[in-house]
Structure 1
Amino acid sequence: MSDDGRQGLTIIAFIGSVFSPYYGWSADKDPFAHCAMNVVLYGDRTRFAMTERGAASLSQSRHSIAIGPSAMAWDGTTLTIQIDERGAPLPRRVRGTVRLTPRGFTSGPFQLDPNGRHRWWPMAPSSRVEVELDQPNLRWTGSGYFDTNDGDEPLASAFIRWTWCRADLPDGTAILYDVRHRDGGGQNLSLRFSHDGNRREIRPPLAAPLPSTSFWRMPRETRSDDGRARVLTTFEDTPFYSRSLLASSLCGEPVRAVHESLSLDRFRNPLVQLMLPFRMPRPYAG
């Protein structure tokens, strides 16, 4: 998020695009044949780009990855992301450079399911971001976050739904990650990290209801110190996913938190799968 709270940006590099209908329909389930650089802008100039590409468009090394014309590279201090994507269904260009500089690193990943088939690592929860885009013409700095996810099976095989929430604190970051397992039960992670990545104690917040999204009626819920939270902005309202900005209280501090809700039952609905190619085109196999 930008320091003034008016702009937001999400960038995800996928090898084995977990939300890809083409990946789900494929016979061999080769993750390298289903790659994408997902770029989403929120605020005054919204954009959504998630073009899927094949193995020929992927190159990677220990410190870099390129998917088609977009790439990420780590120099030991800063992650530099070169973006050159075209949106869908509106073919609006997103082109420019984003730099993410972590303030510290956490110790390692968390297991999200009982069998250890899904891992999540909030690697750099407190970072600074510089955004310099030519298309659209945007320049801003703000607070950033960097994580990684990997798994050994489709998300819908392990989970019914999850919610995730991140908020800046004066001395670091708070993250809430609540998952519901398909075989029953779930896991509620309440995490707090200082700026240097060290984990600190946090009292598990109380359940806080949220209204469903206005169009697709996506269920939302979160947790907070006093069991109350308010939706400030809904960035994404889709049949199976929502991203929002909340006002709540965590670790005794009033916060503005980025929040997401995901329904895997909705995601695997056949009608939803048929809708996805309109936002996730795959124009060629290479």
Structure 2
Amino acid sequence: MFSPYYTWDRKQDPFDHCAVNVVLYGERANRFAMTERRRSQLSRDAQHIAIGPSSLAWDGTELTIRIDERSSPIPRAIRGTVRVRPNGITQNPFTLDTHGEHRWWPMAPSSRIDVALDEPAMSWTGTGYFDTNDGDRPLAESFSRWSWCRADLKDGAAILYDVERRDGSGQNLSLNFGRDGSRRDIRPPLAADVPATRLWRIPRPTRSDDGAAQVVRTFEDTPFYARSLLSSTLAGEAVRPVHESLVLDRFMNPVVRLMLPFRMPRAPG
């Protein structure tokens, strides 16, 4: 959805602009891969999708993600397997705009994950999250910005999703899901003041039970998007949410789009 090549393509065939995005944040291995590939490098059916050398397969209980990518702008390999086992599946997607043209489904808010990478050599197990987004028109035509965060709870996950629409209206979702995917009531959190990112000054609005949140680490600080690790309180628990903030007015800037190919190359073929 952030592809500059798709924007510049008159045909705008989504199947001719697909990618597997892989990001690692660690003490010794930070890597980002998002190589766009053409329709000829795409294969898919109801249970499987392959984009270039990487693939995702669902067997009814487990999602197996096989990764074979190269990072950018520094070309380093990212190879290995990620297995996602949802503890439960939620019932339905949410509509984010007033016309029902953009949908978001936090399908598996609480999952078990196993990561085994050959390059760089590392492995771990833990909890994870799986969602889907789909829409009928470009994001920037419907929204000016949004923020999202997800946090592990003792028995599930809390998710906040706030959108600011082009028509001036907004939507605030405060969700609490049990480990089995069941939706539970949550006390509406209070607005929390978090500093903007240091380099590009991307705002990071969020909410918490007591109206307080702190930045633990900034993972991404780009001209239009930020990803951070926060410390806050949700559903009565001290949590470490992963937070994302997107400013679509910045994304629409032609200069920003010209910068994207440095991190999002397009493979030949």
TM-score range, shorter chain: over 0.9
Establish whether residue 78 from structure 1 lines up as the match of residue 85 from structure 2.
no
Aligned to 1:69: 53
Unmatched runs of 5 consecutive residues or more in structure 1: 1-17
Pairing 1:32–2:15 present:
yes
Partner residue, 2:176: 192
Deviation per CA, 1:136-169: give whole Å up to 9, x if none: 0111111100000000011000000000010011
Shift of 1:28: 1.2
Q: Which of 157, 160, 173 is the aligned partner of 1:173?
A: 157
- Give the distance between the partners of 2:163 and 2:205, measured in 1 at CA: 12
SS at 2:256's partner residue?
helix
- The structure where strand makes up a greater share of residues is 1
Structure 1 residue 75: Cα displacement: 1.1
- Aligned equivalents of 2:222, 2:26: Cα separation in 1: 17
AA aligned opposite 2:3: S
Residue 264 of structure 2 is matched in structure 1 by 280
Aligned partner of 2:43 in structure 1 is 59
Structure 2 distance, partners of 1:25, 1:261, is 25
Q: Does 1:19 align with 2:31?
A: no
The partner residue of 1:104 within 80, 84, 88 is: 88
Structure-2 separation of matches of 1:88 and 1:124: 29
Distance 2:62 2:155 in 1: 21
Q: Is 1:271 aligned to residue 255 of structure 2?
A: yes
SS at match of 2:193: strand
Which residue matches 1:258? 242
**Secondary structure of the corresponding residue to residue 241 of structure 2:** strand
CA distance in 1, matches of 2:108, 2:266: 31
SS of 1:173's equivalent? strand
Q: Which amino acid aligns with 2:81?
A: T
Residues 13-44 of structure 1, C-alpha deviations (whole Å, 9 max, x = no match): xxxxx000000111011101100001001112
For 1:270 and 1:164, locate their aligned partners in 2 and report how far apart those are by CA, in whole Å. Answer: 25
CA RMSD of aligned residues (A): 0.6
C-alpha displacement at 1:76, in angstroms?
1.2
Alignment-derived partner of residue 195 in structure 2: 211
Cα deviation code 1:142-197 (max 9, x no counterpart): 11000000000110000000000100111111000000001111000000100000
Residue 209 of structure 1 deviates from its aligned partner by: 1.0
C-alpha deviations, 1:188-235, integer Å up to 9, x for none? Answer: 000010000000001110000110111111111100001000000001
Aligned length: 268
Contact residue 38 and residue 267 of structure 2 kept, 8 A: no
DSSP-derived class of the 1:210 partner: coil
CA distance in 2, matches of 1:143, 1:47: 21
Question: Any idea what SS the aligned residue of 2:100 has?
Answer: coil
Normalised to the residue count of structure 2, the TM-score between the two structures is 0.99
Structure 2 SS opposite 1:246: strand
Q: Which runs of 5+ in 2 are unaligned?
A: none
Q: Percent of aligned positions with the same letter in both sequences? A: 68
Q: How far off is 1:262 after superposition?
A: 0.4
